[in-house]
């Protein structure tokens, strides 16, 4: 194909379909550049890639077949016209990603040849006169997110439909019959209404006599339960389960029961023993609240000030690096006693300690991190006060709009508290995954393989639970995070990191060493009150070893996990993993589609990209954003560069900041362009993938 052949096909289509002279701009003598001035036509790489002609009164019973010659097409939308006749063989449009033919007068069967458009994401044939059965060939469209066949005259059942990635499905108002298969039962009743012969959830149950007619549900192990983006060989995973799989599931269930019991033991045992210690009069400061769910930080027995012994036996003073801001905008300091009286709520328990939100008597809010005790010799350990104080002085000088400021610290032999500005809008982890903190998960099927290493009590923070395959391990009810917001967060985090890396060199901190963050990850990227991303926990990796939950961000050259370690190259690697997390929506400690459990997000992404399935890695949620494919691919390349296995191949942070900003600038420019173009030729109902279909694969 060439642009000339595309123009010839378009001209034939105009002749066959343009009854209302809507396409007068399609005139080579008046408008010699079709890509620039023909209505609804968009090109990329010298080919017509997008044709959007909606509500134009286009008609004709054979006009569609002329468009089958546009073999560079990615998007075809002819909604709300008057096209008639049957749907022709569109299989030459092998790169088509969106096909919208809704609200026309098309008749005849849904052609099996549509099953050859294996790159399709969205297929909408609703509101036509299509008849016959849904062809099983549609099951080949294993990337399909939308399938709309509603308001036609289709017959037969839908029990054979097997499209694991469907997000939008509608067959209402047809003449279909039979039982709704369980993988489709998650769609609302409205998706099936108006088919007198369909039964079973979410519609009323099939009654006994109908049950005879209903084909039995063959889906024991639902392919719909696979995590989104799972690699599925085209013909595998469909139909009945093998015996081995049944055995594996039964074994897995048993294993889960054992594991849950063990976890309950791990969870309750320390609490019971804490309670026993409390009963024996021991002081536990900042322990879980005795006052119910809200939690109150309090020194047992009326504040740490009241009495010797216990945790604050060797008391020091709060050392302020900068005043904190109180609720009325003024600045203030406080003593330890006041902090211990503050009401508080546990924010989370990390590798370096436990974080609390503390509200002082006058309403001033701060975040307090109680450092985990570490071995003597490690800076946070008992023997290195001087080093600790020096380190705090260095960190206290870090001031940047993308870094969480350290305000004060408290040092005693067995108690170290760090006071930070409180960030009210959560962490990147929480907004991306919909949970407050990460949980490494185990796959039921791979349990037996991993049980010896993962079996409980590995570390008390490591609360393993089965991976939630249905939701891709995301918490319920979260608001999707759109692409522009992801880019803004990536840019903020990279700028914060660049500041930290350059701070040492500029001697802002007085440190002779290059500074590194040491624990860049999504729970350490917090959002301040204006929504800007800020890096938290800067420099703590020098003090305490990271938690097992940081494992997925740790560069391959890092020493074993229990040793404190920080390097600038390691930070760039970790930022690369964060970028991959933003692109894929996957936490690098959750189950991956290839069955891996912990970490290795870069390796997984690389393997998928190598096989030219790039689009498979992206977060499905991003499919709603329009025209971002090129930006996503550019970010993916940058992320993989940062997460290169060899440290010398990773870019410097300054380059990373520049590249992210270029991608952002590009996106802003093209969204301006797109919105002006949409006024004349937009695809309605926001199809997810548009504009030249730069999603590769
Ligand atoms: N300054 C802060 N303001 C608001 N929330 C915070 C602040 N610092 C930490 N948090 C929250 O507290 C939670 C626990 O933080 P913490 O740093 O203890 O653990 P982590 O980040 O999961 O692991 P690590 O200790 O390895 O960094 C984080 O998920 C974060 O959301």
Tell me, what's the pLDDT at 240?
Answer: 41
What pLDDT band is residue 117 in, cutting at 50, 70 and 90? very high
Q: What is the pLDDT of residues 418-461, one digit of tens each?
A: 999 999 999 999 899 886 655 544 433 332 222 222 222 222 22
Q: How far is the CA of 469 from the centre of ligand 1 (A)?
A: 26
Compute the distance between CA of residue 317 and CA of residue 415 in angstroms, rounded to an integer. 12
Cα 468 to Cα 407: distance, rounded to the nearest angstrom: 39
Q: Is the pLDDT of residue 692 over 50?
A: no
Q: What is the pLDDT of residue 296?
A: 30
Spatial separation of the C-alpha atoms in residues 451 and 251, rounded to whole Å: 12
355 Cα–ligand 1 center, Å? 6
d(C-alpha 412, C-alpha 373), whole Å: 11
The pLDDT assigned to 513 comes to 65
Question: What would the pLDDT profile of 164-194 be if each residue is shown by its tens digit?
Answer: 878 789 999 999 999 999 889 888 899 999 9
Cβ atoms within 10 Å, residue 448: 12
Q: Is the pLDDT reported for residue 310 higher than 80?
A: no
Token pair for 444: 């039921």
pLDDT tens, position by position, 508-551: 555 556 789 999 999 999 999 999 999 999 988 877 777 767 77
Atom 11, ligand 1: which residue's CA is nearest?
A: 347
511 vs 365 pLDDT, higher one: 365
Taking CA atoms only, the protein residue closest to ligand 1 atom 14 is: 348
DSSP per residue, 92-133? T-TT--EEE--SSEEEEE--GGGGG-TT-SEEE--SSEEEEE
CA of 350 to the centre of ligand 1 (A): 7
What is the rounded end-to-end Cα distance, in angstroms, of the chain? 20
Nearest residue by C-alpha to atom 25 in ligand 1: 350
What are the pocket residues of ligand 1 if the criterion is a CB atom closer than 6 Å to any ligand atom?
347-348, 350-355, 367, 369, 404, 420, 422-423, 427, 437, 519, 523-524, 526, 536-537, 546-547, 550
Look at residue 256 in the predicted model and tell me its pLDDT.
Answer: 58
CA–centroid distance, 55 to ligand 1, in Å, is 52
Tokens found for residue 645? 């296995």
Per residue in 220-266, pLDDT tens?
Answer: 222 222 223 333 333 333 334 445 555 555 565 666 555 655 555 54
Q: Which of 347, 352, 354, 459 to mutate for ligand 1's pocket (most ligand atoms within 8 Å of CB)?
A: 347
pLDDT band per the 50, 70, 90 thresholds, residue 17:
very high
The band of 114, judged by pLDDT with boundaries at 50, 70 and 90, is: very high
Over residues 42-70, the mean pLDDT reads 89
- ipTM score here? 0.97
pLDDT at 364 > cutoff 50: yes
Q: Which residue has the tokens 């008849």?
A: 131
What is the reported pLDDT for 271? 41
Q: Which of 370, 416, 461, 523 to mutate to test the pocket of ligand 1 (most atoms within 8 A of CB)?
A: 523
Rounded CA-CA distance 150/159 in Å is: 16
Rounded to an integer, what is the distance from CA 525 to the centroid of its chain? 15
Cα separation, 471 vs 448, in Å, equals 23
Using CA of residue 354, residue 355, residue 356, residue 358, what is the dihedral sign? positive
Residue 682 host element (H or E): none
Which CA distances in Å does 134 have to 123, 139, 149, 222, 360?
13, 10, 9, 20, 65
Residue whose CA lies nearest to ligand 1 atom number 18: 350
Burial grade of 45 (CB within 10 A; 0-12, 13-18, 19 or more): exposed
Average pLDDT, the chain: 74
Quote the pLDDT of residue 144: 85
Higher per-residue confidence, 388 vs 278: 388
Cis peptide before 424 (omega within 30 of 0): no
Which span out of 356-365, 373-382, 597-606 was modeled with the highest average pLDDT? 356-365
**Residues 89, 659: Cα–Cα separation, whole Å:** 43
Q: Does 240 belong to an annotated binding site? A: no
Query: What's the token pair of residue 415?
Result: 């108690």
């Amino acid at each position: 194909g060439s642009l000339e052949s595309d123009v010839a096909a378009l001209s034939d289509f105009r002749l066959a379909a343009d009854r209302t002279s809507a396409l007068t701009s399609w005139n080579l003598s008046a408008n010699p550049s079709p890509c620039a001035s023909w209505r609804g036509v968009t090109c990329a790489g010298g080919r017509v890639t997008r044709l959007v002609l909606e509500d134009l009164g286009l008609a004709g019973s054979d006009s569609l077949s002329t468009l089958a010659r546009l073999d560079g097409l990615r998007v075809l939308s002819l909604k709300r016209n008057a096209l008639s006749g049957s749907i022709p063989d569109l299989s030459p449009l092998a790169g088509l990603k969106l096909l919208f033919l809704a609200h026309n007068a098309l008749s005849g069967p849904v052609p099996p040849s549509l099953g050859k458009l294996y790159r399709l994401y969205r297929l909408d044939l609703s509101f036509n006169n299509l008849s016959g059965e849904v062809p099983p060939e549609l099951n080949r469209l294993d990337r399909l997110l939308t399938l709309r066949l509603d308001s036609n005259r289709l017959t037969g059942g839908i029990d054979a439909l097997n499209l694991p990635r469907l997000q939008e499905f509608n067959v209402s108002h047809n003449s279909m019959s039979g039982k709704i298969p369980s993988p489709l039962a998650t769609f609302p009743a409205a998706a099936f209404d108006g088919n007198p012969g369909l039964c079973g959830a979410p519609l009323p149950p099939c009654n006994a006599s109908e049950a005879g007619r209903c084909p039995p549900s063959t889906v024991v192990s639902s392919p719909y339960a696979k995590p989104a983006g799972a690699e599925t060989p085209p013909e595998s995973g469909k139909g009945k389960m093998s015996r081995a799989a049944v055995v594996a599931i039964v074994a897995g269930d048993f294993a889960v029961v054992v594991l849950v019991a063990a976890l309950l033991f791990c969870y309750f045992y320390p609490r019971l023993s804490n309670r026993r210690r409390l009963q024996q009069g021991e002081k536990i400061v900042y322990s879980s609240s005795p006052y119910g769910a809200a939690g109150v930080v309090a020194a047992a027995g009326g504040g740490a000030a009241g009495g010797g012994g216990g945790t604050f036996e060797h008391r020091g003073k709060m050392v302020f690096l900068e005043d904190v801001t109180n609720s009325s905008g003024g600045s203030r300091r406080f003593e330890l006693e006041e902090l211990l009286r503050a009401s508080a709520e546990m924010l989370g328990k990390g590798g370096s300690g436990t974080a609390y939100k503390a509200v002082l008597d006058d309403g001033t809010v701060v975040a307090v991190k109680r450092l985990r005790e570490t071995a003597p010799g490690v800076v946070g350990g008992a023997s290195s006060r001087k080093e600790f104080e020096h380190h705090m002085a260095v960190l206290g000088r870090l001031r940047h709009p993308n870094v969480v400021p350290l305000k004060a610290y408290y040092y005693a032999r067995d108690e170290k508290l760090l006071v930070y500005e409180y960030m009210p809008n959560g962490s990147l982890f929480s907004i991306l995954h919909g949970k407050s903190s990460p949980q490494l998960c185990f796959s039921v099927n791979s349990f037996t393989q991993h049980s010896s290493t993962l079996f409980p009590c590995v570390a008390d923070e490591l609360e393993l639970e089965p991976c939630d395959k249905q939701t891709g391990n995301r918490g319920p009810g979260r608001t999707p995070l759109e692409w522009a917001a992801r880019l803004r967060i990536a840019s903020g985090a990279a700028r914060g990191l660049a500041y930290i890396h350059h701070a040492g060199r500029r001697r802002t901190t007085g440190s002779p060493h290059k500074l590194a963050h040491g624990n860049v990850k999504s729970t350490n990227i917090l959002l301040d009150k204006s929504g800007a991303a800020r890096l938290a926990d800067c420099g703590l990796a020098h003090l305490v070893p990271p938690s097992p939950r940081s494992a997925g961000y740790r560069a391959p050259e890092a020493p074993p996990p229990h040793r404190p370690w920080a390097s600038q190259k390691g930070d760039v690697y970790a930022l690369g993993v964060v970028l991959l997390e933003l692109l894929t929506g996957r936490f690098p400690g959750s189950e991956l589609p290839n069955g891996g459990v912990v970490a290795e997000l870069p390796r997984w992404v690389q393997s998928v990209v190598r096989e030219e399935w790039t689009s498979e890695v992206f977060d499905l949620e991003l499919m709603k954003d329009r025209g971002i494919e090129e930006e996503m691919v550019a970010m993916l390349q940058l992320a993989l560069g940062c997460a290169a296995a060899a440290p010398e191949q990773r870019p410097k942070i300054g380059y990373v900041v520049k590249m992210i900003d270029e991608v952002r600038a590009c996106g802003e420019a093209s969204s301006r362009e797109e919105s002006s173009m949409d006024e004349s030729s937009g695809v309605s109902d926001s199809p997810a993938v548009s504009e030249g279909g730069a999603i590769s694969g």
